[in-house]
Amino acid sequence: MLRILEQKNFSAYQEIIKNLNISELNAPHLSEALDDADAVRGWILYAYQPEKIIIYALDDGKDWNYCDGLIRSVLFKAQLRGLEQAVFEITNPEILSRIEKLEFVKNNQKHIENISEIMESCKKCKENPTNT
C-alpha cells in the first residue's frame, strides 16, 4: 500500500535543497512515499506561496504510481490551504514527461491553473469500472 507522509527532518535532503536555491521566503516542505516496510520509494519537495504551490523536485523511483500519488497528495494539501494554482519548477525531463503523460500539465506547460479540475478528474477515474 502506498503511504505518503510529510517529513519534518530534511537532513537527508539538504544537498538537494541547497542545489535548488530555494528562497528563504519559500520554506520548503517535503513528503515521502513509503512502502509496506517503511522504506522511502520516492519524495516530493514543494513550497506554499500565498497564491500557489511550487513543486521544486520529485523522485518517484521511476514508478508511475508514486509519481501520481506524490503529486496528488501535494495538490490536495494545496487545496486545503485554498490554493488553486501549481507551478512545476522541476528540471528533470524524464519526470516532466511523466507529469505530462499523467495529464497534470499539457503542451509542455509547467503550471496548473485549476487544481480542483485535476482532482475532480481523479474522482471520475475511480468511477470508471475498468480501473477496479
How far is it, in rounded angstroms, from Cα 83 to Cα 102?
21
**What span, in angstroms and rounded, lies between the C-alpha atoms of 103 and 121?**
10
pTM for the whole thing? 0.87
Look-up of cell digits 487545496: 79
Rounded to 5 degrees, φ, ψ at 7 are -105, 130
> Across the chain, which distance is largest between two alpha carbons, in Å?
46
Strand partners, 57: 45
- pLDDT value at residue 131: 45
What are the pLDDT tens digits along the chain (132 aa)? Answer: 779 999 999 889 988 888 887 766 678 899 999 999 999 999 999 999 999 999 999 999 999 999 999 999 999 999 999 999 999 999 999 999 999 999 999 888 899 999 999 888 755 454 444 444
CATH of range 3-131; options 2.30.130, 3.40.630, 1.20.120, 3.30.530: 3.40.630
